[in-house]
Structure 1
Amino acid sequence: MNETRQPAHHRGRGPGRLIALVLALFVMLGLSGGTAFAAPDDAEKPPRAVWVPDSAKDLVAAMQPSWNLGNTLDAIPDEGSWGNGQTTKATFEKVAADGFRSVRIPVTWSDHQSATAPYTIDATYMARVKQIVDWALDSGLYVVLNVHHDSWMWVEKITSDHDNVMARFNSTWSQISTTFRDAPRTLVFEGINEPSFANATEAQKFQYLRELQTSFHRLVRTSGGMNANRLLSLTTPAGAPEPAFMNDLYTTIAGLNDSQLVAQVHFYSWYPFSVNVAGGTLYDAVAQKHLDDTFANIRTTFVARGIPVYIGEYGLLDYPNHFHPSRVERGEALKYYEHLNHTARATGVTTALWDPFSYLNRETLQWRDQALFDWIKSSWTTRSGTASFDKVFVPKSAPVTAKSLTLNLNGTSFRGVWQGGTKLVAGRDYTVSGTRLAFTANALTRLVGNRAYGVNATLQARFNSGLPWNIDIVTNDAPVLSNATGTSTAFAVPTQYRGNNLATMHATYADGTNAGPTDWTPYQEFNKAFSPDYASGAITLTPDFLASLREGVTATLVFHFYSGQTVTYKVTKSGTAVTGTLA
């Protein structure tokens, strides 16, 4: 492991007792700027000592990078209800071994707590939460523990049931604080996840959230033990990094006058790109500016004022999804992760990957997509070059001609193009002019081979740092769609993709209004209104989309593909019958 990737805290490798004695000696001699904690002895492995800086800023920096144990203890009603099974200590050993320094453990308490005073949390459930927290601490990780989906299950009712909600919230944190009062400062408390407030104005949201977080702060600080100096995480309404929300959070933090506080927000990119709606098919200048502007505001509001920031969740909404076609094109997703973690490093904030199921397989403890994880991991420490797209389309129905991409150097230097272990020849196989990378017709003719539809070859553009950028050479032609009949609950458009990938669907009526459930844009949401079925050769129109169609009125659909090609199709619903025809 490179020196730059070593954890900021120190993990013991020798006998646990010896490590504890050495660290204790350092503390006694005044050689530390923080505190060393060693986890209890483990029968299989020696405990790992974690160095905890005194300052909140240094502590949060030592937590980078972070990972979420999502859809687990926060699942409703039980730990295994959302498909992740029962957590083991090996889970934390895995994420620690792969470079994470901290984990966020979301917990939903509602189904394990009495709904009336004194709102007692079930002792067995509390013991299970403590067991999981202890496993993570013992694995040498910092831990963030919170109150999670309770935010919308009952906390949001504070607008109509103020006193009971406050009593339950206070009781919940009183019990958590008591249970963990002697845990080391490697454990961080997060008061409330993505708080919502039913039918509240913005000003009311600020008022209620300040009341909740101030009460959380008071309860923890007066509960004794290590809680007197434990790092506490405070957030914004919905965890959103909106400027007004962050300004109000700054006011709350400044008013508490406590040096052991951290601001938390979440980030899932520009919404149209994150879910592929409203034409957000690419990680384009709009999506990039949204990220840059958000992190600039984070820097101005908190970092520049000495308040550390924890991005408690980041990712793309419903990406990757191993049960449906990906709504975000892979190369575009890689650009987002690369940009986000670079910007986070430049801003000086810690990022926690939201992992509900999609990244780490909890049964095999293997990354579901190792190449994707490699990109995320690389972005923690260095930049990688990319390009305007990760595919070059070569139409089969026309002579092969030169094709080009634009390189995004991201501060790197271009080294060349490889196919496996063979380096392509500059000037013969490709040319570079500024940031324009052009593949010659002769090289493409060789690469497409017999010109079968689909990916014929994969190249790598390599740079002087970071990971290489994969470029698929794809033979394609315009997709062919066919007429079809179906019902309002089951309708699919027969599709010969011919080497293409579906990007989006534009849906309108003859009067110019939008067709589909997302009525504010003609470009409907991927997998919500439509979804490609490449294996079956079809495009599925979902029941939600079909239900939204006007009775007896023809909708015009334009399917857009990443090759730049489009196909127009007509759909009419009459009762439960649906008819589709090629325009």
Structure 2
Amino acid sequence: MLVAAACGGHRATTAPAPPTVVGVDDYPPVASGAAPGASAAAAEIATALGRGVNFGNMLEAPTEGAWGLTVTDEFIDRAAAAGFTSVRLPVRWSSHALAAAPFTIEPAFLARVESIVDELLAKGLVVVLNVHHYRQLDGDPLDAGEAPVADAVVDVRFLALWEQIAARFQGRGARLVFELYNEPHGRLNGEPWNVLAARALGAVRRTNPGRVVMIGPTSWNAASDLHLLRLPNDANLIGTVHDYAPFGFTHQGAEWVTPTPPVGVTCCSAAQRAEMTAPLDVARAWSVATRYPVFVGEFGAYGKADDASRVTFTRTMRDAMEARGMPWAYWELAAGFGVFDPVQHAFRPGLLDALLGR
């Protein structure tokens, strides 16, 4: 059973000591320029990721439940029983930490995330734990319910978050993967992300020297930005991209997009299929050149598309990713893109078959 937010996880019962440093220079970057390619351990984990699902609109909301969903035992049990082999767990840590040094993460929230990770791991799932939606890090407007921090500490606070997360989870096995940041963009585009990611990896390596870590490119994890990504000299890495092409289909009717794409777009024509697979080809070429595997951390079609087109899109993407040897995670379990209907307490059979069927 999940541990309540006020309780500790089954292993650690006290939070790690918060960092005492207050500047980015206290987090030296891992050197880059001679990335060796993936280790056998990273390649093994990439294979084990297999077919995954995102637990979206849960812990990456400003507070759990603010976007309509909380992580439940049912979600964990049903995802595992359906045959998913991994779960990507997006977490908005930035809404649950002190605004000033030492940037301590709320003990209750840390314990809540820990309990979820441990239950997922106990089901035999590979878990991808990330930092998600730190709006100020990208220079974005804040969401409702978020409080700003001083601009001068935004980057070092991100590094301090990773120092604490890594310390808390250092005792977990190899099937827990860290993803440094979801969809870097805006003020992080290009070289700023390369530098910050190398520093964040250094913070992780203080307590997790061999854990597999995911790093994705800028422009919202766009494969087209992979050529800008300068990987640190570390073998225990996996690259990650997102693919929502064709956007006019996958995000039709999405209220958070301005202007909202019109509904009524079907899928999948030859032109649409080419648009869907082009980013995968870019990512595959990058993978071959760098000798690091690539995980497609997000793809999916919003529920305002017609059901038949969503199923066709999903199966086409699955087949294309697997033909290129890429593990993936569908976006997402039980919200607007969801493969699972939380009201009916049942999977949407067409989508589930497109993801996991023969």
| Match for residue 283 of structure 2 among 287, 293, 298 | 298
| Match for residue 251 of structure 2 among 275, 280, 289 | 275
C-alpha separation in 2, matches of 1:79 and 1:363: 18
Aligned to 2:164: 175
Secondary structure, in 3 states, of the residue corresponding to 1:55? helix
Structure 1 position 92, deviation (Å): 1.8
Note if 1:155 corresponds to 2:137.
Answer: yes
**Misfit runs of 4+, over 4 Å:** 160-163, 276-280, 362-365
Relative to structure 1, the CA distance from residue 54 to residue 282 in structure 2 (aligned partners, 3 Å threshold; closer, same or farther) is: closer
Aligned to 2:30: none
C-alpha separation in 2, matches of 1:261 and 1:312: 14
Aligned to 1:370: 349
Aligned to 1:228: 209
1:204-237 Cα shifts (integer Å, max 9, x gaps): 72111112210111111122xxx11101000111
C-alpha separation in 2, matches of 1:361 and 1:271: 23
Structure 1 position 145, deviation (Å): 0.5
Relative to structure 1, the CA distance from residue 280 to residue 371 in structure 2 (aligned partners, 3 Å threshold; closer, same or farther) is: closer
| Match for residue 226 of structure 2 among 216, 231, 246 | 246
For 1:200-239, list aligned pairs within 5 A.
Answer: 205-223=189-207, 227-239=208-220
AA paired with 2:296? Answer: I
More displaced, 282-291 or 63-72?
Answer: 282-291
Structure 1 position 110, deviation (Å): 2.3
Aligned to 1:526: none
1:256-309 Cα shifts (integer Å, max 9, x gaps): 221110111111121122234588544212211112222111111114542111
1:297-322 Cα shifts (integer Å, max 9, x gaps): 11111145421111111102xx22xx
Aligned to 1:531: none
> What is the aligned-residue identity percentage?
30
- Asked whether the 8 Å contact 2:185–2:219 carries over to 1, the reply is yes
Aligned to 2:57: 71
AA paired with 1:155? Answer: L
AA paired with 1:234? Answer: I
Residue segments in structure 1 that go unaligned for 5+ positions in a row: 1-39, 42-52, 199-203, 321-325, 383-583
For 1:250-399, list aligned pairs within 5 A.
Answer: 252-253=230-231, 256-276=232-252, 277=261, 280-303=265-288, 305-316=290-301, 319-320=302-303, 326=304, 328-355=305-332, 357=335, 358-362=338-342, 365-367=345-347, 369-378=348-357, 382=358
C-alpha separation in 1, matches of 2:94 and 2:41: 34
> Which has the higher relative contact order, 1 or 2, with Cα contacts under 8 A spaced 6 or more apart?
2
AA paired with 1:272? Answer: G
Task: State which structure, 1 or 2, has the greater radius of gyration over its C-alpha atoms.
Answer: 1
More strand by share: 1
C-alpha separation in 2, matches of 1:314 and 1:220: 27
C-alpha separation in 2, matches of 1:162 and 1:128: 28
Aligned to 1:24: none
C-alpha separation in 1, matches of 2:323 and 2:117: 30
Relative to structure 1, the CA distance from residue 234 to residue 138 in structure 2 (aligned partners, 3 Å threshold; closer, same or farther) is: same
More helix by share: 2
Aligned to 2:182: 193
C-alpha separation in 1, matches of 2:267 and 2:300: 15
Structure 1 position 178, deviation (Å): 0.8
C-alpha separation in 2, matches of 1:141 and 1:376: 16
C-alpha separation in 2, matches of 1:142 and 1:363: 27
Secondary structure, in 3 states, of the residue corresponding to 1:131? helix
AA paired with 1:183? Answer: R
Note if 1:164 corresponds to 2:153.
Answer: yes
Note if 1:116 corresponds to 2:116.
Answer: no
- Asked whether the 8 Å contact 2:53–2:88 carries over to 1, the reply is yes
Secondary structure, in 3 states, of the residue corresponding to 2:190? helix
Structure 1 position 163, deviation (Å): 4.4
C-alpha separation in 2, matches of 1:282 and 1:107: 31
For 1:445-484, list aligned pairs within 5 A.
Answer: none
- Asked whether the 8 Å contact 2:189–2:219 carries over to 1, the reply is no
Aligned to 1:81: 66
Relative to structure 1, the CA distance from residue 335 to residue 363 in structure 2 (aligned partners, 3 Å threshold; closer, same or farther) is: closer
C-alpha separation in 2, matches of 1:282 and 1:138: 38
- Asked whether the 8 Å contact 1:69–1:103 carries over to 2, the reply is yes
1:492-528 Cα shifts (integer Å, max 9, x gaps): xxxxxxxxxxxxxxxxxxxxxxxxxxxxxxxxxxxxx
Relative to structure 1, the CA distance from residue 303 to residue 94 in structure 2 (aligned partners, 3 Å threshold; closer, same or farther) is: farther
Structure 1 position 365, deviation (Å): 4.2
C-alpha separation in 2, matches of 1:359 and 1:282: 18
Structure 1 position 161, deviation (Å): 6.9
C-alpha separation in 1, matches of 2:328 and 2:223: 17
| TM-score, normalization by structure 2 | 0.78
Secondary structure, in 3 states, of the residue corresponding to 1:265? strand
1:309-352 Cα shifts (integer Å, max 9, x gaps): 11111102xx22xxxxx3x2332222211211111111011110
C-alpha separation in 1, matches of 2:209 and 2:272: 42
C-alpha separation in 1, matches of 2:200 and 2:235: 16
AA paired with 1:248? Answer: L
AA paired with 2:274? Answer: K
Note if 1:58 corresponds to 2:38.
Answer: no
Structure 1 position 104, deviation (Å): 0.6
More displaced, 288-297 or 98-107?
Answer: 288-297
1:58-87 Cα shifts (integer Å, max 9, x gaps): 2111111011111111112x21111113x2
C-alpha separation in 1, matches of 2:87 and 2:64: 17
- Asked whether the 8 Å contact 2:163–2:204 carries over to 1, the reply is yes
| TM-score, normalization by structure 1 | 0.49
Secondary structure, in 3 states, of the residue corresponding to 1:292? helix
- Asked whether the 8 Å contact 1:61–1:350 carries over to 2, the reply is yes
C-alpha separation in 2, matches of 1:73 and 1:344: 27
Secondary structure, in 3 states, of the residue corresponding to 1:67? strand
